[in-house]
């Protein structure tokens, strides 16, 4: 990993499903030692070779001081942690990837040196994800350590906690929104006569290439769209449909607003105040 985050870092992951699993696999690929990782999985799901899997959080004892506890279960599952041995631990760091759940809700869970909220997305598996971070309790040094830990996963960005639900909607959920777009692009081509497999391949390769080009370009995506669209050309005709009454912008505004609102609801459920 790096000097700031040694490969011998002792980590307890509470939950390790789709998202936690993607992070763990990437970290292992980047040098984290599997035998330093303990995963809590009630169903004892299969984990990479060498990782310890336990059905419940072990009680803290002298020889299992974890440097880092990572919460990677669902927000709806958080209230169950109150009856566990989590409170017996005093890790240097508690990191949570739970959507919505605030730092204030996380603080009482154990005696952590600092609490950090992280919001990754699934492309972290390839080191091409986004990890939003926020913390009131972490010192500048701790923030640097967390940045180093997350860097192998992709783009790391610290944001204020009051924007975190929005970051969750944009980057955490973003891959799903983009997959819908790719699917809709391919479906439109199929509806207009293209075979499904060919439409899927072309739509995906177009999005992949366009994203790679945009990330290397000095031009903004808005300017790049205009560069593809020459005046009176066929691309411009298509863009006019997306731009009409800001159709796409308004749709995505509503999409992020709905997702952001659900993050706040999840925090209430995690606090035992709402219904799942």
Ligand X SMILES: NC(=O)c1ccc[n+]([C@@H]2O[C@H](COP(=O)([O-])OP(=O)(O)OC[C@H]3O[C@@H](n4cnc5c(N)ncnc54)[C@H](OP(=O)(O)O)[C@@H]3O)[C@@H](O)[C@H]2O)c1
Residues forming contacts to ligand X in the complex (CB under 6 A) are: 14-20, 40-43, 45, 72-75, 77, 80, 97-99, 119-122, 172
Q: Report the candidate in 176, 175, 206, 174 with the shortest Cα–Cα distance to residue 188.
A: 206
- Closest residue to ligand X: CB criterion: 17
Q: Is 187 within 8 Å of 204 (Cβ atoms)?
A: no
Residue position matching structure tokens 């011998």: 8
Shortest separation between residue 79's beta carbon and ligand X, angstroms: 9
CA distance 122 to 112: 27
Measured between alpha carbons, how far is 200 from 190 in angstroms, rounded to an integer?
A: 9
Dist CA 154 CA 124 (whole Å): 6
User: What is the four-CA torsion angle of 7, 13, 17, 20, rounded to 10 degrees?
Assistant: -50
Smallest distance, Å, CB 227 to ligand X? 32
Q: How far is the CB of 157 from ligand X (least distance, A)?
A: 14
Contacts of 270 (CB under 8 A, 6+ apart): 75, 76, 78, 79, 98, 100, 101, 105
What's the closest the beta carbon of residue 269 comes to ligand X, in angstroms? Answer: 11
Q: 81: which DSSP letter?
A: G
Q: For residues 166 and 263, what is the distance between their CA atoms, to the nearest angstrom?
A: 9
**Is the CB of residue 38 less than 8 Å from the CB of residue 11?**
yes
Nearer to ligand X, 37 or 97 (CB): 97
The two structure tokens encoding residue 1: 């990993």
Q: Residue 17 or residue 221: which is nearer to ligand X going by CB?
A: 17
Judged by beta carbon, residue 94 or residue 199, the one nearer ligand X is 94
Least distance (Å) from ligand X to the CB of residue 263?
8
- The distance of closest approach from Cβ of residue 153 to ligand X in the complex, given in angstroms and rounded to an integer, is 11
**For ligand X, which is the closer residue by CB, 2 or 255?**
255
| Residue number, 19 or 68, with CB nearest to ligand X | 19
Q: In the complex with ligand X, which residue's Cβ is closer, 76 or 147?
A: 76
Minimum distance from residue 92 beta carbon to ligand X (Å): 21
Return the number of the residue (20 or 154) whose C-beta is nearest ligand X.
20
Name 62's Cβ contacts closer than 8 Å, sequence gap at least 6.
none
């Amino acid at each position: 990993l790096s000097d700031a985050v040694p490969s011998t870092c002792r980590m307890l992951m509470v939950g390790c499903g789709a998202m936690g699993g993607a992070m763990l696999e990437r970290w292992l690929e980047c040098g984290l030692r599997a035998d330093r990782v303990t995963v809590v999985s009630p169903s004892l799901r299969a984990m990479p070779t060498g990782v310890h899997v336990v059905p419940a959080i072990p009680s803290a004892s002298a020889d299992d001081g974890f440097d880092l506890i990572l919460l990677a279960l669902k927000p709806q599952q958080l209230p169950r942690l109150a009856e566990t041995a989590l409170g017996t631990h005093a890790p240097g760091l508690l990191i949570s990837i739970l959507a919505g759940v605030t730092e204030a809700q996380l603080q009482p869970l154990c005696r952590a040196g600092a609490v950090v909220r992280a919001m990754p997305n699934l492309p972290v598996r390839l080191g091409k994800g986004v990890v939003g971070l926020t913390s009131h309790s972490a010192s500048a040094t701790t923030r640097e350590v967390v940045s180093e830990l997350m860097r192998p996963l992709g783009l790391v960005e610290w944001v204020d906690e009051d924007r975190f639900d929005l970051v969750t909607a944009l980057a955490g959920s973003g891959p799903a929104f983009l997959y819908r777009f790719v699917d809709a692009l391919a479906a439109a081509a199929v509806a207009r006569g293209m075979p499904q497999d060919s439409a899927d391949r072309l739509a995906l390769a177009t999005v992949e290439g366009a994203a790679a080009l945009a990330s290397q370009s000095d031009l903004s995506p808005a300017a790049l769209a205009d560069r593809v669209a020459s005046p009176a050309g066929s691309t411009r005709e298509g863009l006019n449909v997306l731009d009409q009454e800001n159709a796409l912008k308004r749709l995505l505004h509503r999409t992020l607003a709905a997702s952001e609102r659900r993050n706040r609801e999840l925090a209430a459920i995690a606090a035992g105040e709402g219904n799942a």
